[in-house]
Each structure stands twice: as structure tokens, then as C-alpha cells.
Amino acid sequence: MTDTTELVSETRSFGGWYRRYRHHSQVLGCDMVFGIYLPPQAETQTVPLLWWLSGLTCTDENFMQKAGAHRVAAELGMAIICPDTSPRGTDLPGEHDSYDFGSGAGFYVDATQAPWDQHYQMYSYVTDELPDLVHNVFPLNSQEAIAGHSMGGHGALICALHHPERYQSVSAFAPVCHPINCAWGEKAFGAYLGDDRAAWKAWDASELIRSNGTTHSMLVDQGGADNFLEAGQLHPEALEAACAEAGADLTLRYQPGYDHSYFFIASFIEDHLRFHSDHLCR
């Protein structure tokens, strides 16, 4: 490892290693922890990489421990990296007051408003700083894909739409598809980005696809019994309409009876890993 990357823990899993590392982020101005699963193939060769962005209240640990992804990732020879969902230890005023804003709720945007702009630069962290670090440290090749859940599904979509040259594919579970038109997004964007709602469109997947289209293949699963779908937080219909207008390649699957939990993710994660492997191996 490098002098600036500290091993926090390591666990053997399906012939590979699940490891957690701490490093100091210059972009976020705090120490951060990320998790990585390295498949057995990484001991003798470089491997492709799937970025996983988690949802509200999650850390780097939730997906690695609950999604059941290691077995298939080991078979496919795919590394998985899970960043955290917000800066940690900054203790800004109001940062810890609610589950859907501040701590655990960075929304993968670059904040422009004080005091959040001091630390809440999660988009730059996951698309610039952390990729530079991991590609210098781990046996990864140049093939990358990105996926996520809920707030992290929103993050995966906007990262892929802003960086079409980097990610071979993108997928999401119950993503926040139209954040400028839901309570979660309005709360977070208003504080992080200010009152100019036109500026929010740069961080909204449905608006980005409607304006610019995309060449990505996208796979989205949505639970039919998801309480946040019923509450109007997710708006997959907006993503579907934008993709239809733009002629984008979207596979949107409604899964009857499934909710917003990791049981839902674990039930379909194999489909997503194989979807990404097909694109990464082309």
C-alpha cells in the first residue's frame, strides 16, 4: 500500500479478499474509508472494476456485507469498490439532524453553497480523487462500470452520463431518477446547490438524458412494493420517458412484491454483475 492508505480490515471471501482502507481525502478535507473486493484473479492479473454507490444512511460496508455479490464477482473476475456516502467527521451545523441530508446523504454532487462546499464534493471524490488512488494501488485494468442503489443509483447514473468515456455500462436499483422533482432531491439540492433550480438539472439523470442523450446500456430494477416509489421519491417513469425521447438503451424491470431493502438487491445482484461483465469483456 501507499504511505497515505491504511488497511483497516481484511476478510477472505470466495477465494478473494474484502478489504477496507482509510485515506485522507484532499477533495473532501477529511479522512475517508472505502471497501474493495478483489477476486482471486487479482492475485495474478489486472481485473475490471465495478463501482458501487450506496444509498441514504449507508456506509462503505452495507453493500459488501448484505448484497451477496462476492460469489459472482469471484467467478467473473471483477473487483468491486464501495466508497462512503458522504464526508465524515466534519460536524457541520445541522449535518447530523436528519437521515436524508448531510451525514450519509452526500447525493454525489459537488456542493456550491456554504458551509457544504467546504467538504461535500462527493462527485469529484468518486469520479476523480478516489479513482486516481485505487488505480495506483490495486491491480485494476482500464475497464470500469458503475452501479448503485437509491441515492447511489442516482449517483451512478449521473457519473456515467457525465463520463461516457469511462464507464462501459451503468445499472441501478430503485434509483432517484428525477431528484429535482422529489422531496429528497429538493431538500438536498436546495442546500448543496442553492436556489437556482436550473442549475440542479446538471445533477438529474432524467434531465441529462433528455438534453444530451446517452450511448450507455442501462439496467434498472425497481421493486413494485417499494414504499419510496409510492411516496413519489423515485420517478422511474421520468427516466423511462427521457430514454424513450432520446432513443437511449434502457432496460427497466419492475419486480413485483419487492421493497427498497437489501433483500431486493441481493435477489437481483447477480443479473447486474453479469450485465456489467458482458460489457466489460467486450
CATH number at residue 217: 3.40.50.1820
- Rounded to whole angstroms, how far apart are CA atoms 205 and 184? 15
- The mean pLDDT of 109-138, rounded to a whole number, is 98
β-strand partners of 249: 217
- pLDDT one-digit tens code per residue, 7-20: 999 999 999 999 99
- Rounded to whole angstroms, how far apart are CA atoms 86 and 68? 23
- Rounded to whole angstroms, how far apart are CA atoms 260 and 238? 19
C-alpha cell read off for 260: 427498497
User: Residues 84, 119, 226, 235: which is the catalytic one?
Assistant: 226
Sign of CA dihedral 72, 77, 158, 245: negative
Judge whether 260 counts as a catalytic residue: yes
> Is a pLDDT exceeding 60 seen at residue 138?
yes
Length of the chain: 282
- Rounded to whole angstroms, how far apart are CA atoms 141 and 135? 8
Model pLDDT, residue 183: 98
Strand duo 249-255 + 217-223: pairing: parallel
Label residues 16-53 b or e (16+ Cβ within 10 Å = b).
bbbbbbebebebbebebbbbbbbbebbeeebbbbbbbb
Judge whether 60 counts as a catalytic residue: no
Which helix (H) or strand (E) element contains residue 20?
Answer: strand 16-25
Judge whether 267 counts as a catalytic residue: no
Backbone angles phi, psi at 57, to 5 degrees: 75, -5
How many domains does the chain fold into? 1
- The mean pLDDT of 204-220, rounded to a whole number, is 95
Distances (CA, A) of 72 to 13, 69, 226: 11, 6, 26
> Is a pLDDT exceeding 90 seen at residue 57?
yes
> Is a pLDDT exceeding 70 seen at residue 79?
yes
Which helix (H) or strand (E) element contains residue 246?
Answer: helix 236-246
β-strand partners of 96: none
Residue 127 near residue 163, CB atoms below 8 Å: yes
pLDDT, averaged across the chain: 97
Residue 63 near residue 69, CB atoms below 8 Å: yes
Q: pTM for the complete prediction?
A: 0.97
Model pLDDT, residue 281: 80
- Rounded to whole angstroms, how far apart are CA atoms 74 and 236? 31
- Write out the residue range of the structural domain in which residue 50 sits: 5-281
User: Residues 216, 235, 260, 276: which is the catalytic one?
Assistant: 260
Strand duo 47-53 + 79-82: pairing: parallel
Amino acid occupying residue 59: T
Model pLDDT, residue 3: 52
Label residues 135-144 b or e (16+ Cβ within 10 Å = b).
eeebebeebb
Sign of CA dihedral 227, 231, 237, 239: negative
User: Among residues of the chain, what percentage have pLDDT more than 90?
Assistant: 97
User: Residues 150, 171, 206, 217: which is the catalytic one?
Assistant: 150
> Is a pLDDT exceeding 60 seen at residue 274?
yes
Count Cα neighbours of 134 within 13 Å in the Cβ-side half-sphere. 32
Model pLDDT, residue 1: 45
Model pLDDT, residue 109: 98
Amino acid occupying residue 229: L
- pLDDT one-digit tens code per residue, 226-260: 999 999 999 999 999 999 999 999 999 999 999 99
- Rounded to whole angstroms, how far apart are CA atoms 134 and 267? 29
